[in-house]
Chains A and B, each alone.
Chain A
């Protein structure tokens, strides 16, 4: 047994005000996988990501990242763990008081190891990766369009070169061209760096172009997890409803 799985959830229970969201949820993601997380609106996908990040503590159950339990009390260990992951929030969550440039530079400056020139180059590199120019760096988050917010947020999530990338609806609000660019970018990064990616998405093209594995969240837990081909064969109302006539497209 060599590497622990990147993400391991087991027996996770979550409820909000008595309403269950997750019930006995289990998921295991290995290094290098790109997992598409599917589920109906309000099925608890964002909540699941928040639990993986340690932003929300489940009522019961275990969450392990890189083999480290999130309930481990060692602060330094937890902090180093957080540096290994990047998150793209559903609504961007950019720092509204900082410019685009400073938003992306912020996590890099927090390391207190890189000099100014290095940070500037990295920020411009990330901006270029998501298809934004140098001029966009001076804008404030309130001056961005919805899709640009997504792209800046992605650039910020990539700033620390994370090993695990969590993406909450990364292509919602992007035009098809940009979505395609995004798929290629993440695909390239994955090949170059061996990233592990979990992404919530409702977009079949993104899913078909990127995901190596698919996890389906329905009925409060992961009803199916496997490669795209395996998921196709599942006979569950959500899966058949989601893919509908497009079943073949995913293959």
Chain B
């Protein structure tokens, strides 16, 4: 079994013996290679009759030693000759695959084209959703209620603890920092305005959007992506089930409905955190805080916050589904698309937030 590959050179004869297999050669590969390489180029008699085993790795090694031609005089068993014949039948030249060079303009151009294709894909998906909605209006029995509620549950209810925790901590942090500043101006009472406006109008929705993009957005992309990899999507459509109505639509609607509720919840918890911090830091009673909140923060801010939640939820789910549907059937593409989905969703959310800020700059700001 463990017969070591041996090489003996005696006056013009090269004698190989033992098992020339990859496993046996590995420990002494270097010395074997250099011994074979050190032989004079031609005029040797090769005696391979004492070989016990010869596998294709060793055959390739010998063939390379012979510079791709049968040696003039060779003794070898018929069975082992077959192994070398297989190697001999391969083409002599084995060019390495050229590595593609990437040029900067090409790279940037490709990136832009990809971005344009993604934008186009998302618009197409949006259009498909409108068509589906239209279809469902006339066929209300096909509305996927189950999938819709399942998505509200998964993206909404199950996200309550983590959004609450993060919201609470952010509320505490902002309250502490602002309290320090306000104290030095003697303007402690404005903590209500600062916390109210910033959390309800801005921080709540954006915070939730970032969390949900990481949590539910990635899950949606991965789920749809794996369904594509395993051909489940194709199985669905062979059964006459529309993938957009059964898979995509419930996800997008579910998140669009769940997000405003999550925003409301997170803003409330963040305000609670801020109130508690204000109580400890500034001795501002909870009752005072709650009584003054409606005065300091016009109700329009709440509506803006909820509207943002609504739009962000839609955007995140749309982006996630788009990238999920464009996963190619391999693991690399799955991971790349999941990453792109989360990054694109967060970026788009921030962009949308900026647009919101511009168009609502006159609304809901308290006049002092």
Residues in A lying within 8 Å of B, measured CB to CB: 3, 31, 83-84, 95-97, 101, 111, 113-114, 116-118, 120-122, 124-126, 128-129, 134, 140-142, 160-161, 163, 188, 191-194
Residue among B60, B64, B80, B331 with max Cβ neighbours from chain A (10 Å): B60
Q: Are A192 and B87 in touch, CB under 8 angstroms?
A: no
Complex Cα gap A82–B7 (Å):
28
With A83-B23, A96-B229, A124-B90 known as contacts, the answer to whether A161 contacts B56 (CB < 8 A) is yes
Q: Are B53 and A192 in touch, CB under 8 angstroms?
A: yes
Q: B231's closest neighbor in chain A, by CB?
A: A142
In this assembly, does B355 line the interface, its C-beta being within 8 Å of a C-beta of chain A?
Answer: no
A120: chain B residues within 8 A (beta carbon):
94, 96
A96: chain B residues within 8 A (beta carbon):
229, 329-332
In this assembly, does B26 line the interface, its C-beta being within 8 Å of a C-beta of chain A?
Answer: yes
Q: Are B21 and A140 in touch, CB under 8 angstroms?
A: no
Q: Are B86 and A113 in touch, CB under 8 angstroms?
A: no
A117: chain B residues within 8 A (beta carbon):
64, 94
Complex Cα gap A83–B57 (Å):
14
Complex Cα gap A113–B29 (Å):
8
Complex Cα gap A124–B89 (Å):
11
Contacts A111-B26, A120-B94, A160-B22 given; 5 further ones with Cβ under 8 A? A95-B331, A114-B57, A120-B96, A121-B90, A141-B330
Complex Cα gap A140–B331 (Å):
12
Complex Cα gap A113–B27 (Å):
10
Complex Cα gap A118–B79 (Å):
22
Other-chain residue from B23, B86, B330 in contact with A161 (beta carbon distance below 8 A): B23
In this assembly, does B54 line the interface, its C-beta being within 8 Å of a C-beta of chain A?
Answer: yes
Number of A-B contacts (CB under 8 A): 79
A141: chain B residues within 8 A (beta carbon):
330
Lowest 8 CB-CB distances: which A-B pairs, in order? Answer: A97-B332, A96-B330, A142-B329, A161-B55, A120-B94, A161-B22, A121-B60, A97-B330
Q: Are B83 and A192 in touch, CB under 8 angstroms?
A: yes
A-B CB contact pairs (8 Å), 10 listed: A3-B1, A101-B97, A114-B57, A121-B63, A121-B87, A122-B57, A125-B60, A140-B330, A161-B23, A192-B80
8 Å CB contacts to A: which residues of B33-84?
Answer: 53-57, 60-61, 63-64, 79-80, 82-83
Complex Cα gap A124–B96 (Å):
12
Residue among B56, B80, B90 with max Cβ neighbours from chain A (10 Å): B56
8 Å CB contacts to A: which residues of B119-165?
Answer: none
Residue among A3, A125, A142 with max Cβ neighbours from chain B (10 Å): A125
In this assembly, does B215 line the interface, its C-beta being within 8 Å of a C-beta of chain A?
Answer: no
Please tell me the size bucket of the interface on B.
20 to 34
Q: A31's closest neighbor in chain B, by CB?
A: B1
Other-chain residue from A114, A125, A191 in contact with B56 (beta carbon distance below 8 A): A125
In this assembly, does B328 line the interface, its C-beta being within 8 Å of a C-beta of chain A?
Answer: yes
B21: chain A residues within 8 A (beta carbon):
161, 193
With A113-B26, A140-B330, A193-B55 known as contacts, the answer to whether A122 contacts B86 (CB < 8 A) is no
Q: Are A142 and B79 in touch, CB under 8 angstroms?
A: no
Complex Cα gap A191–B55 (Å):
11
A77 to chain B minimum Cβ distance, whole angstroms, is 14
B91: chain A residues within 8 A (beta carbon):
124, 134
A121: chain B residues within 8 A (beta carbon):
60, 63-64, 87, 90, 94
Q: Are B54 and A84 in touch, CB under 8 angstroms?
A: no
Q: A188's closest neighbor in chain B, by CB?
A: B82
Complex Cα gap A120–B90 (Å):
11
Q: Are A142 and B57 in touch, CB under 8 angstroms?
A: no
Other-chain residue from B1, B60, B90, B331 in contact with A97 (beta carbon distance below 8 A): B331
Q: B77's closest neighbor in chain A, by CB?
A: A192
A95: chain B residues within 8 A (beta carbon):
331
Complex Cα gap A84–B330 (Å):
28
The 0/1 profile, CB within 8 Å of A marked 1, for residues 87-111 of chain B is 1011100101100000000000000
Complex Cα gap A128–B21 (Å):
19
Q: A129's closest neighbor in chain B, by CB?
A: B86
Residue among A3, A118, A161, A188 with max Cβ neighbours from chain B (10 Å): A161
Residue among A3, A84, A122, A194 with max Cβ neighbours from chain B (10 Å): A122
